[in-house]
Chains A and B, each alone.
Chain A
């Protein structure tokens, strides 16, 4: 079990899903707060799901309010960065860049990619936490 956990974790890092920030979080975990990382991750996914849906709605409207989109994405990036969600963070940055130049097409494409990364990370982390228990 331990080994499995270690393997999952290792692959997450190797594949760039997570970065050293995640390790920082793990270091905060101790006997008094044994599930800290999982709690944070849960909170993150809950909050980011909300953000994703907001962005989705904004994009569907077709009006492309880049400012607003950028704001959403800024938040998304902030929380993704905080838990060490590396790939997600990269997509966020790209999305914001497209917003900055007003490239709607780029935004849509990047957003799709972002959702994909987000979903993948979620699944993997769920596996990880399951295995850790």
Chain B
């Protein structure tokens, strides 16, 4: 979470021992004593036992026998807990849903537990972003070390990527945390991945503080560069970066060549290398998320995809972009989307309709972010005039486009429909997109919130970042991506992000992950890459790609916006929607959603508010209600993604296959390419 205050610091809350906030990395000796744990389990016997055990570990325990109550407790007191332990089977809410919510809204580490030790359930925990899974009966030994998850998460938050730094709220210099980041990533498989995600999302205060401390480590890297100790990855810079990467091909991009292509004076290879690493993580996350989402979202999709599919993608972007730019009034956006989709107008405040469908959500997430951008950016809005309305509106969808999309998605039927929808939407949007692209303010790059699960995580990564208000980053490309990506909800979301986020920003974590990989390949300008894919897939959407370029900045903006939004709202609605796609975005979205600021002007918040708690926006801003699902999806995807980071894609695929989840997405997206390991530094 981005809150400027300490965030969740372990001891920040009530006099715990950690005292971390003060400074530094040093953890107070008393830690982990005083760790604030929230335990959720409908079984009173287990609850009592757990409480006793945790108390014996000297943790501060809060019991809860209902998930809803736990969520409201968490919402009321965002920084009041350090970690959540939840049972899987609960009568009022599925444990995984709670997991998603927490991950999206609060970005706290969540441990799942159950008497059920079947592989599928454990896998589900992993993919949804749980930091750990305990089998009942839970023993003391297992509980004694849960503090490690808190520390791990915090660490990842600290190492916010450099670009985020520039956008950081605090204005602290972004440390080039390339190395740090990679370390984290390398060390813990899932954890680090999540952390990364978190970083993006939550670079909130904690990270900032940490960064300072840890900045020294990386200072060397920057020392040789520009006069400034750290490189600030502005939207433009990122855009150039993405363009260079796309030109070289994501897998083949090496820092040296990228540096050459970028031709930015003062930029060093190290800067590029660490940025590339982060970018790859982001892409991976997107890819993974999308996959999962696709898989996981089947349920979601079914409900909505048909209508939303296409709409979401298009709507998300277009609308968002529009919303962002302020052109498209949130309401109109919502209406459009709603109309198109036939869903309730979930328009996020900014006017971006929230796509209810998971995929769409991702798209919408963009939307959310988009509006944010606009806001954040300072109102590009004028540019985007009303066109947007159409964007979002699925009405424009053309069946054939969908058909085309379908081909693409080998994934489950849900996906396809979404894709189709997206294609359709795109088709409809293409026309609309074009004009808007530019005006979109660079969406809040921050939107990217690490989608990853609670650790989901991931979401937080962005929190700090963005602020770059670049103005409309709306990623035009995202649209295109959406269309093509439809694969899974994630992909859709992704697309949306892309569009919203300017090329510069890393692909939004939202689902698009899937789309990203495919798209990245194309040399399109950074974000355009997505578009390319999309474009190729959808004949009708050619134009969107261009948009991407212009929107490149959106990413960054989104992120920043996301952060801002994040701070604002507590949008309950978002909690649901927390669409993973843009972890940061989702965060913001959440905020936005609640904020539901009707005024577009409100930057980030706007985007979210528009999102409406309806299930839509899963992508970045996480639409409302259904967002929860999305969130899980996304998170899962994100999580899945993380898995991949560790080059465990095969494993994941295998597992997913076993579980009946079609890993299709994974393979399609070539996330491998982006594995951090490949990054030549």
CB distance from A85 to the nearest CB of B (A): 10
B145 close to A (CB within 8 Å): no
Task: List B residues 1-60 near A (Cβ within 8 Å).
Answer: 42-46, 48-49, 52-53, 56
Please state if A36 and B52 are interface contacts (CB–CB under 8 Å).
Answer: yes
State the majority secondary structure of interface residues on A: helix
| Pick from B52, B89, B138, B139: contact of A75, CB under 8 Å | B89
List of A residues within 8 angstroms of B114 by Cβ: 78
List of B residues within 8 angstroms of A44 by Cβ: 45
Please state if A75 and B42 are interface contacts (CB–CB under 8 Å).
Answer: yes
CB distance from B94 to the nearest CB of A (A): 12
Give the contact-size bracket for chain A. Answer: 20 to 34
List of B residues within 8 angstroms of A84 by Cβ: 137
In the complex, per-residue mask of B86-113: 1 if CB is within 8 Å of any chain A CB, else 0: 0101000000000000000000000000
Instruction: Report the bound CA distance from A84 to B140 in whole Å.
Output: 14
B217 close to A (CB within 8 Å): no
List of A residues within 8 angstroms of B44 by Cβ: 43, 47, 79
CB distance from B167 to the nearest CB of A (A): 45
Contact (A79, B52) CB under 8 Å given A21-B137, A24-B137, A71-B89: no
Instruction: Report the bound CA distance from A24 to B144 in whole Å.
Output: 14
A110 close to B (CB within 8 Å): no
Contact (A47, B139) CB under 8 Å given A74-B115, A81-B115: no
Instruction: Report the bound CA distance from A84 to B46 in whole Å.
Output: 11
Q: Which residue of A lies closest to B114 (CB)?
A: A78
A77 close to B (CB within 8 Å): yes
B657 close to A (CB within 8 Å): no
Contact (A28, B89) CB under 8 Å given A43-B45, A47-B43, A81-B137: no
Instruction: Report the bound CA distance from A81 to B48 in whole Å.
Output: 14
Task: List A residues 15-33 near B (Cβ within 8 Å).
Answer: 21, 24-25, 27-28, 33
CB distance from B141 to the nearest CB of A (A): 10
Please state if B45 and A24 are interface contacts (CB–CB under 8 Å).
Answer: no
State the majority secondary structure of interface residues on B: mixed
CB distance from A130 to the nearest CB of B (A): 21
B650 close to A (CB within 8 Å): no
CB distance from B491 to the nearest CB of A (A): 33
A82 close to B (CB within 8 Å): yes
| Pick from B45, B56, B139: contact of A83, CB under 8 Å | B45
| Pick from B45, B138, B139: contact of A79, CB under 8 Å | B45
Instruction: Report the bound CA distance from A43 to B43 in whole Å.
Output: 10
Task: List A residues 63-115 near B (Cβ within 8 Å).
Answer: 71, 74-75, 77-79, 81-84
CB distance from B93 to the nearest CB of A (A): 14
B116 close to A (CB within 8 Å): yes
A40 close to B (CB within 8 Å): yes
Contact (A82, B49) CB under 8 Å given A21-B137, A47-B43, A77-B115: yes
Please state if B139 and A78 are interface contacts (CB–CB under 8 Å).
Answer: no
A39 close to B (CB within 8 Å): yes
CB distance from B560 to the nearest CB of A (A): 44
Q: Which residue of A lies closest to B53 (CB)?
A: A28
List of B residues within 8 angstroms of A36 by Cβ: 52
B136 close to A (CB within 8 Å): yes
List of B residues within 8 angstroms of A27 by Cβ: 140
CB distance from B97 to the nearest CB of A (A): 16
Please state if A25 and B115 are interface contacts (CB–CB under 8 Å).
Answer: no
Task: List B residues 551-585 near A (Cβ within 8 Å).
Answer: none
Task: List B residues 163-178 near A (Cβ within 8 Å).
Answer: none
List of A residues within 8 angstroms of B136 by Cβ: 78, 81-82
Please state if A82 and B52 are interface contacts (CB–CB under 8 Å).
Answer: no
Give the contact-size bracket for chain B. Answer: 20 to 34
Instruction: Report the bound CA distance from A43 to B138 in whole Å.
Output: 17
In the complex, per-residue mask of A34-71: 1 if CB is within 8 Å of any chain B CB, else 0: 00100110011001000000000000000000000001
CB distance from B197 to the nearest CB of A (A): 31
Contact (A79, B46) CB under 8 Å given A21-B137, A24-B137, A74-B116: yes
List of A residues within 8 angstroms of B49 by Cβ: 25, 28, 40, 82-83
CB distance from A25 to the nearest CB of B (A): 7
CB distance from A80 to the nearest CB of B (A): 9
Please state if B56 and A82 are interface contacts (CB–CB under 8 Å).
Answer: no
Please state if B43 and A28 are interface contacts (CB–CB under 8 Å).
Answer: no
Instruction: Report the bound CA distance from A77 to B87 in whole Å.
Output: 13
In the complex, per-residue mask of B602-622: 1 if CB is within 8 Å of any chain A CB, else 0: 000000000000000000000
List of B residues within 8 angstroms of A39 by Cβ: 48
Please state if B48 and A43 are interface contacts (CB–CB under 8 Å).
Answer: yes
Instruction: Report the bound CA distance from A40 to B44 in whole Å.
Output: 9
List of B residues within 8 angstroms of A28 by Cβ: 49, 52-53, 56, 140
Please state if A79 and B140 are interface contacts (CB–CB under 8 Å).
Answer: no
Please state if B48 and A40 are interface contacts (CB–CB under 8 Å).
Answer: yes
Instruction: Report the bound CA distance from A28 to B136 in whole Å.
Output: 17
Instruction: Report the bound CA distance from A28 to B137 in whole Å.
Output: 14
List of B residues within 8 angstroms of A40 by Cβ: 45, 48-49, 52
Instruction: Report the bound CA distance from A74 to B139 in whole Å.
Output: 19
Instruction: Report the bound CA distance from A21 to B56 in whole Å.
Output: 16
CB distance from B388 to the nearest CB of A (A): 46
Contact (A78, B53) CB under 8 Å given A24-B139, A43-B48, A84-B137: no
CB distance from B52 to the nearest CB of A (A): 5
List of B residues within 8 angstroms of A82 by Cβ: 43, 45-46, 49, 136-138
Instruction: Report the bound CA distance from A79 to B115 in whole Å.
Output: 9
List of A residues within 8 angstroms of B46 by Cβ: 78-79, 82
Q: Which residue of A lies closest to B135 (CB)?
A: A81
CB distance from A65 to the nearest CB of B (A): 15
Q: Which residue of B lies closest to A32 (CB)?
A: B55
CB distance from A33 to the nearest CB of B (A): 7
List of A residues within 8 angstroms of B53 by Cβ: 28
Instruction: Report the bound CA distance from A44 to B116 in whole Å.
Output: 19
Contact (A24, B140) CB under 8 Å given A39-B48, A74-B89, A75-B89: yes
B44, B49, B56 pick with most chain A CB within 10 angstroms: B49
Instruction: Report the bound CA distance from A79 to B116 in whole Å.
Output: 12
Instruction: Report the bound CA distance from A22 to B1 in whole Å.
Output: 40
List of B residues within 8 angstroms of A71 by Cβ: 89
List of B residues within 8 angstroms of A78 by Cβ: 43, 46, 87, 89, 114-115, 136
Q: Which residue of B lies closest to A39 (CB)?
A: B48
Instruction: Report the bound CA distance from A27 to B140 in whole Å.
Output: 10
Instruction: Report the bound CA distance from A125 to B89 in whole Å.
Output: 28
CB distance from B117 to the nearest CB of A (A): 11
List of A residues within 8 angstroms of B45 by Cβ: 40, 43-44, 47, 79, 82-83
CB distance from B319 to the nearest CB of A (A): 41
The 3 residue pairs across chains A and B that have the minimum distance between CB atoms: A78-B115, A79-B45, A44-B45
Instruction: Give me the interface of B with A, judged by CB distance under 8 Å.
Output: 42-46, 48-49, 52-53, 56, 87, 89, 114-116, 136-140
Instruction: Give me the interface of A with B, judged by CB distance under 8 Å.
Output: 21, 24-25, 27-28, 33, 36, 39-40, 43-44, 47, 71, 74-75, 77-79, 81-84
Beyond known contacts A40-B45, A79-B45, A82-B136: 12 more, CB 8 A cutoff: A24-B137, A25-B49, A27-B140, A28-B53, A33-B52, A43-B48, A44-B45, A75-B43, A78-B46, A82-B43, A82-B49, A83-B45
A-B contact pairs, 10 of them (CB 8 A): A21-B139, A28-B49, A40-B45, A40-B48, A74-B89, A78-B87, A78-B114, A79-B43, A79-B45, A83-B49
